[in-house]
Structure 1
Amino acid sequence: MLTGLLAADPTRFVEVAGRRLSHPDLLAAATAVADDLVDHSRVALLATPTLETVVAVTGALLAGVEVVPVPPDSGAAELRHMLADSAPEAWLGESPHETGDEQSLPRVRVDVAARADVQLDPVDDEATAFVMYTSGTTGLPKGVLQSRRAVMAGLDALVDAWAWTADDVLAHGLPLFHVHGLILGTLGPLRVGGSLVHTGRGTPEAYAAAARAGATLFFAVPTIWSRVADSPDDAKALRDARLLVSGSAALPVPVFDRLAELTGHEVAERYGMSESLITVATRADGVRQAGWVGVPVAGVEVRLRDDSGAEVPRDGESVGRLEVRGATLFSGYLNRPDATAETWTDDGWFVTGDVAVMAPDGRIRIVGRESVDLIKSAGYRIGAAEIESTLLGHPAVAEVAVVGAPDADLGQRVVAYVVAGGSATPDEALARELVDHVGAELSLHKRPREVRFVDDLPRNEMGKVQKQRLLDD
């Protein structure tokens, strides 16, 4: 799995918040962890953005031990659920400073200064590598079982899509308990044999410093890219980079355009989820367009279906349910055979729960979650993302989220939650102006029936807007 790391090239390294290990030292430290994991099968890991986390994950993978990444900011109830559901045998490294059952687990020490001789036993590729808990909008998080095979297939597909080589230095400041930061952002360099600079925090200053130090490849979420775009001097430092990648949510058109102006790079977007890893990506040599996430990666197929299961036209406009199949898919939900079965079609496709449109050339634009981003109003199927992108093109709009609110007459009505930008006055006149703006740019039935001004939008730790909270309020 960690093919590139096993080459032990002393010129390659992993750096987290200023602390660095060469590949040979990382491999030796991780082997010491692997030696201490004999007779373990599953461990919990408090996935802080530290060098200890990288050494711990690497050691567990070398040992063939399943890892349950635990977000450092987990609430007490969420933490109890993850531990009870996954039943780890120990904490790998630091444990949370909480009271309760988590303190009854033994700890396996992680020492970045330890060294052991590398002697690796083979591990079945079908074995589970991670139990990664989803942050669903309803119910308790589900444990997604990700096999070693799926992780390797996903990384190799991105190596192909992004022309990723051992000469690349990846920089990012993403959390290490999600697919984006942990699997792509940590295991990716170790798979390909390149270097990693985790900046600790995803700030424009940190990204600029990494660029000046030679980073060639950058990962970020739209929130980070927006901040980079608002810091011209830091953004310009990225001009010598090879590729900028954005994920976890759609990149607003103004941010895409501003980054292209400042950095000389059009950002490559991609799409994935815990259950499927990255299934669609804009290729390094492909067409880049704000809001479009690219084409299926190697080994993955996608299709769009309507409510009756019929194929949706690939016309760049028609909205359909996104379904995928291929080597990157998960093995199921831990302890949830019912939920696992519900996510698959009779002919073997995984139902993502997302809705999208597909262009004639196969490129995909994600509309959003079927539950909150597909608005069915007066017989029309409307994608919230298209309206959001249009509103973000208005100078008075800093942030926006569009939802479908229940309506006795229409079924659902289009409602836009807007954070006003600059010196704009959030009043009825501006609301009418925004409605007219959408009507002029898009079909009339896509105009918001209501504009609600808010101070901010509820977001999760990855910067995604939590629309269900808007609907619940």
Structure 2
Amino acid sequence: MSSLFPALTEALADPDGTAAHRSALRFGDRSLTYGELAATAAPLAARVGEAGRIAVWATPTLETAVAVVAALLAGVPAVPLNPKSGGSELGHIVADSAPTLVLAPPGDQLPPALAALERVDIEVGIDTDTDVRSTRPTAPPAPYAPAHALDRDLDLDPETPALVVYTSGTTGPPKGAVIPRRAVAATLDALADAWQWTGDDVLVHGLPLFHVHGLILGILGPLRRGGSVRHLGRFETAGVTRELSTGATMLFGVPTMYHRIAESLPDDPALAKALARARLLVSGSAALPVHDHQRIAEATGRRVIERYGMTETLMNTSVRADGEPRAGTVGVPLPGVGLRLTEEDGTTAVEAYDGETVGEIQVRGPNLFTEYLNRPDATAAAFTEDGWFRTGDMAVRDPDGYVRIVGRKATDLIKSGGYKIGAGEIENALLEHPGVREAAVTGEPDADLGERIVAWIVPADPEAPPSTDELADHVAGRLAPHKRPRVVHYLDTLPRNDMGKIMKRALTHD
């Protein structure tokens, strides 16, 4: 397999060459060129080369990026750990993945679940005179030469595991998706085609680094292109303004971030001007409400594009940079990705491209994971007999092939009055009502309809929330009468996870 990071390979081979002096990573006021990243990560790669699996304490820091790059150079699977995980979840992940080392920034206090692991501190220091960075692990490093890391990276089989990324665990204990090097390369190259992503692009984001969006797309993506990334550490609209005003060309975010941007735009002309400069604004991990799409487009002249992926498949579809940035859709399948919709039996294909007929998304292609670690039963159940991965996501296809996701099969497919209804489109309709700040939609048993539609609303004005009848008429007028909510609950806030996704299982019908 060719190198995952050609610019890094070039910097390893020629420390004085042009590639070595290109900016690679910047976190706040700390940065590394490709040459400095090579000089930092290669010795660490030698140190962990025989480690089996390694855990990475995935704080939003330069150290996390260095640790993952070192693991990939060494051909050792990295297991990113969410620093906000509770003790039980973290204990499960560590026991299941059985790493032999944990890599962490020096000084970080690690929880008891990691106490039995050998710790290697990743110390990325700066000598202000020579501007050289170095990694000094607590244990003596193995003999190192740059050629060793270069040869190892180039010789690795495409099926070699690169990462073990744990799912969110919404239907049981988190499962470790084994992601091979082949999937990382295929996804990032397909996105380069769809987004016209090159080494001239400078990405800014403030996402966590323990999942696919923040780590693979946000850190490894720029490095594979030979470009650079500026991580905000913590998302703030002021940071977005600063970076997009000083050379950054792309912004990656999740809907909660873009919602904050949309809310800030009327009173922040500098933010609007900075966003207008961006070549590409990308949202993912959950659907971006149409209302936020519209507010950002009106204020900046730039449209946010959406893509669709998941831990097991990396990226499946995207609106293309040269395509129509249509709000409410996740675009078309990426190059090399097969996508089909199926009926409830999981095998009968939905042939309609009518924007109405709902089916489960199934995908196959080089972007897929290899297996769930230690779970052959779950791995087998995730695939059809003819090799398609069952995503559990429900969607419709427009006549031109654009995919619109309407929810999860387990929580968002509502069968009411003989219709199959996706919760997502109702949520978008509710969010277009001026009296609604946040919205979630679920179903509950109904003796007559089978299921009735239930809306969970955070009103814009808690003292004067829109009535159930008002919201029902609003939805019926935009979608269809059978899609109107029959019950409305009013909340102060919706339960969300670290990525901003609404946790519908936490919504109970008291």
TM range, smaller chain: over 0.9
Counterpart residue identity of residue 263, structure 1 = T
Counterpart residue identity of residue 9, structure 2 = L
Partner residue in 2 for 1:394: 433
1:12-411 alignment runs, 5 A limit: 12-94=23-105, 97=109, 100-112=112-124, 113-114=133-134, 117-119=145-147, 120=150, 121=152, 122-232=155-265, 233=268, 234-308=271-345, 309-312=347-350, 313-411=352-450
Q: 2: CA distance between counterparts of 1:213 and 1:448?
A: 46
Q: 2: CA distance between counterparts of 1:5 and 1:263?
A: 35
Q: 2: CA distance between counterparts of 1:142 and 1:213?
A: 40
Residues 291-325 of structure 1, C-alpha deviation per residue, up to 9 Å, x if partnerless? 10000001101001111332221111111111001
- Label 1:259 to 1:117 Cα distance change in 2 as closer, same or farther (>3 A): farther
Q: Which moved more, 1:404-413 or 1:365-374?
A: 404-413
Aligned alpha-carbon RMSD (Å): 1.5
Structure 2 counterpart SS, 1:144: strand
Structure 2 counterpart SS, 1:438: helix
- Label 1:324 to 1:29 Cα distance change in 2 as closer, same or farther (>3 A): same
Q: Which moved more, 1:439-448 or 1:267-276?
A: 439-448
Aligned partners of 1:36 and 1:108 also within 8 Å: no
1:453-464 alignment runs, 5 A limit: 453-464=490-501
* 2:10 maps to 1:7: yes
Give ranges in structure 2 of 5+ residues lacking alignment.
Answer: 12-18, 125-132, 136-143
Counterpart residue identity of residue 253, structure 1 = V
- TM-score of the superposed pair, with normalisation by structure 2: 0.90
Aligned partners of 1:396 and 1:424 also within 8 Å: no
Residue identity (%): 53
Q: Which moved more, 1:257-266 or 1:158-167?
A: 257-266
Query: CA shift at 1:469, angstroms?
Result: 1.2
Structure 1 counterpart SS, 2:396: strand
Q: 2: CA distance between counterparts of 1:193 and 1:26?
A: 12
Residues 39-73 of structure 1, C-alpha deviation per residue, up to 9 Å, x if partnerless? 21210011000000011111111010110000010
Aligned partners of 2:468 and 2:486 also within 8 Å: no
Query: CA shift at 1:180, angstroms?
Result: 0.3
Query: CA shift at 1:108, angstroms?
Result: 2.1
Q: 1: CA distance between counterparts of 2:281 and 2:460?
A: 26
Aligned partners of 1:4 and 1:189 also within 8 Å: no
- TM-score of the superposed pair, with normalisation by structure 1: 0.97
Q: 2: CA distance between counterparts of 1:398 and 1:240?
A: 28
Q: 1: CA distance between counterparts of 2:89 and 2:368?
A: 25
Q: 2: CA distance between counterparts of 1:330 and 1:11?
A: 32
Q: 1: CA distance between counterparts of 2:80 and 2:111?
A: 19
Aligned partners of 1:147 and 1:331 also within 8 Å: yes
Give the count of matched residue pairs: 471
